[in-house]
Amino acid sequence: MGDHVVLGFNYCQHCETCLAGFPGNCIHTAQYNFGALRPDGSSPLSDGHGAIAGSFFGQSSFATHTNVSEHLAVKVPKDLALDVLAPLGCGVMTGVGTVFNVLRPKPGSTIAIFGAGGVGLSALLAARLSGCSAMILIDVLKSRLAKSLALGASHAVDGSGANAVELIREITQGRGVDFAIDAVGKPEVFRAMLDSLTVRGHGALVGAPIPGQEVSLDLSQSLGAGRRVSMVLEGDAHPQLLIPQMAALMSSGALPVDKLITRYPFGEINRALADSLSGDAVKPVLIFP
């Protein structure tokens, strides 16, 4: 009672992947997050006339009050402002978790991050914490490239041209990067991410592609280079573990998520959406009066 909590995504807690510690790949993800009802078919919400759809992402938290399963509410320290903690449950967890849990770069490693939105820039903060040397951010928006440099990226590459991979190779003296993240989810970006890797480099797809898209690869070249690719949902993280870890890093100043957010009064929700689409806001946070 009275605890501060952050909400993560929903998962069944009982399938093999949940039990293995990877609830982002819960086999019941669609039903639990996008079914608009509780798993038993009932609704957690009513409007006075009867049940209404709810439970989007297990949350439907676009409200002053919500009704969620206990396991997706993660207790956080009260010394951190809730508006700064709000984005931890999905985008920030995806970026940070992919670096900490999947790629695990050693100090001095190089990394290229395609897409400098909330996920990509969260990955950048984690790459900094991991001691990466070259941290190359690729985006098509100048404002996002400037933001990347302000947050500690060593290089910002305009991805609107066709030569992003060449530029990444130039930056790394022709070698390619040790690690790469595709936070966009388009076939051409995924291919560029793979092509930017060095021998035995490790890439991760984290951006959500439109269903049905395919990508072509030079299998012989990919095999010869021994490149690895991981498909990563929610940073391969367990929210009950990674969210408190990130909160602790925020308390110490090591993970400045506050620099990613822009606050809007709830009444300015349309401006928040427009700024998100234009790229002016990385992570809009709506504040209820």
Size of the site for Zn ion (CB under 5 A): 5
Q: Binding of Zn ion at residue 233 (CB under 5 A)?
A: no
Q: Binding of Zn ion at residue 25 (CB under 5 A)?
A: no
- Smaller CB separation from Zn ion, 18 or 156: 18
* Alpha-carbon span 267 to 245, nearest angstrom: 32
- Smaller CB separation from Zn ion, 11 or 264: 11
Quick check: 182 and 116 in contact, CB under 8 A?
no
* Alpha-carbon span 288 to 86, nearest angstrom: 13
From the list 22-30, 176-184, 185-193, 227-235, the region that binds Zn ion by CB under 5 A is 22-30
Looking only at residues 28 through 57 of this chain, which bind Zn ion when binding is defined by CB under 5 A? Answer: none
From the list 12-20, 193-201, 245-253, 279-287, the region that binds Zn ion by CB under 5 A is 12-20
Token pair of 211 as six digits: 């269903």
- Smaller CB separation from Zn ion, 18 or 88: 18
From the list 16-24, 200-208, 237-245, 255-263, the region that binds Zn ion by CB under 5 A is 16-24
Alpha helices in the chain (DSSP H): 16-19, 29-34, 82-85, 91-97, 118-129, 142-150, 164-171, 187-195, 219-225, 239-251, 269-278
Least distance (Å) between residue 11 CB and Zn ion: 5
Return the HEC string of 94-138: HHHHHHHHHHCCCCCCCEEEECCCHHHHHHHHHHHHCCCCCEEEE
Return the number of other C-beta atoms located less than 10 Å from residue 267's C-beta. Answer: 11
- Smaller CB separation from Zn ion, 12 or 129: 12
Q: Binding of Zn ion at residue 26 (CB under 5 A)?
A: yes
Least distance (Å) between residue 244 CB and Zn ion: 21
- Smaller CB separation from Zn ion, 22 or 100: 22
Least distance (Å) between residue 109 CB and Zn ion: 32
Count the alpha carbons within 13 Å of 195 in the hemisphere toward its beta carbon: 17
Least distance (Å) between residue 33 CB and Zn ion: 11
User: In degrees, to the nearest 5, what angle opens at C-alpha 92 toward C-alphas 267 and 11?
Assistant: 95
- Smaller CB separation from Zn ion, 11 or 114: 11
Count the alpha carbons within 13 Å of 104 in the hemisphere toward its beta carbon: 4
Q: Binding of Zn ion at residue 18 (CB under 5 A)?
A: yes
Least distance (Å) between residue 51 CB and Zn ion: 25
Pairing of strands 111-114, 177-182: parallel
Applying CB under 5 A, the residues found at the interface with Zn ion are 11-12, 15, 18, 26
